């Protein structure tokens, strides 16, 4: 059993590491990015614990590549163990303490391929959000001139050309030009989205795990991808099916006391 724990509070360029051996603090110092890499590579094989935040998967993979075992912990499980003010030093120590707790739930470390798929899906979501934002903004501005039409992207795409060509409405020339430019940006985003969806679907079809998930009723390519990214290749972060179900928001809230169990509903924002 490895009795040495290295906990790292990560950021973009400033890092703080705490090294514990049998609960004794041996190292407690700040590092730059490059110096942290060199320091980690020089350490004997240890258990490296990192809070699951931005770039955490990269650092976990790096720790594994230099001979350590790695574990990611959700930030909400670290907060209760922080002592004093929120500083990098206190955060690193809290991460170390949290990681030593029995049955502490971990976040599965994503491979480079999994992160690539997730990143493309994030781009897809960003383009979709931008399209919705553009249509809502233009719809709201047009309403100030008494021009209203149905909700939805399809209605937006259908009505804007007619509104731009209508010379009898009260739209000022300068504003009409800007609406035309925003509408063209909307169409460009739509074309980009089609390309991203096509690429993403092709990549998903190359993943054996995603293809298995798509055999489930009601599971398409995007849901299969998100299940794959959440559950991992073998569901190694979960002890049984209920834990996996709770992670993706399929189980009701539970309140138990005195041997009595009360089950609540499933909230819209529950799980992942």
Which of 237, 248, 259, 262 shows the shortest CA–CA distance to 107? 237
pLDDT score of 271: 57
The predicted structure's pLDDT at residue 55: 92
Would you say residue 222 lies in a domain? Answer: no
How high is the pLDDT of residue 208?
Answer: 86
| Alpha helices by DSSP H, 85-172 | 88-99, 112-143, 153-165
Helix (H, G, I), strand (E, B) or coil at 184: helix
Instruction: Tell me if 64 is assigned to some domain.
Output: yes
Q: Is residue 106 part of a domain?
A: no
Residue 137, CA distances (Å) to 12, 140, 156, 172, 244 in order: 34, 5, 11, 17, 39
Q: Do 198 and 272 reside in the same domain of the chain?
A: no
Domain of 252, in residue numbers: 240-272
Q: What is the C-alpha to C-alpha distance for residues 67 and 72, in angstroms, rounded to an integer?
A: 16
Q: Does the pLDDT value for residue 219 go beyond 70?
A: yes
pLDDT band at 49 (very low <50, low <70, confident <90, very high): very high
118 within a domain of the structure (yes/no)? yes
Residue 159 in this model has a pLDDT that exceeds 90: yes
Strands 4-9 and 47-51: parallel
pLDDT (tens digit per residue) in 205-218: 888 888 888 888 88
Instruction: Say what the pTM is.
Output: 0.81
Query: How many domains are contained in the chain?
Result: 3
Task: Report the pLDDT value the prediction gives residue 228, as an integer from 0 to 100.
Answer: 84
């Amino acid at each position: 059993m490895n009795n040495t724990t290295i906990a790292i509070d990560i950021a973009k360029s400033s890092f703080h590491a705490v090294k514990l051996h049998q609960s004794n603090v041996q190292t407690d110092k700040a590092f730059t990015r490059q110096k942290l890499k060199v320091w980690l590579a020089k350490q004997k094989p240890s258990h490296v614990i990192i809070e699951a935040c931005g770039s955490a998967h990269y650092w976990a993979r790096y720790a594994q590549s230099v001979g350590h075992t790695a574990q990611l912990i959700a930030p909400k499980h670290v907060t209760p163990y922080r002592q004093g003010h929120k500083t990098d030093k206190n955060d690193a120590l809290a991460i170390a303490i949290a990681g030593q707790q029995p049955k502490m739930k971990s976040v599965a470390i994503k491979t480079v391929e999994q992160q690539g798929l997730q990143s493309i899906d994030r781009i897809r979501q960003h383009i979709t959000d931008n399209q919705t934002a553009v249509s809502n903004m233009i719809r709201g501005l047009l309403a100030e001139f008494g021009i209203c039409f149905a909700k939805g992207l399809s209605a937006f795409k259908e009505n804007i050309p007619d509104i731009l060509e209508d010379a009898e409405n009260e739209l000022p020339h300068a504003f009409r030009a800007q609406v035309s430019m925003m509408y063209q940006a909307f169409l460009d985003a739509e074309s980009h989205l089609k390309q991203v969806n096509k690429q993403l679907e092709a990549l998903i079809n190359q993943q054996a795990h995603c293809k298995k998930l798509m055999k489930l009723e009601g599971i398409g390519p995007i849901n299969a991808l998100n299940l794959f990214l959440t559950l991992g290749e073998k569901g190694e972060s979960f002890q049984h099916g209920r834990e996996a179900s709770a992670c993706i928001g399929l189980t009701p809230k539970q309140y138990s006391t005195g041997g009595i169990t009360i089950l609540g509903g499933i909230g819209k924002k529950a799980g992942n």
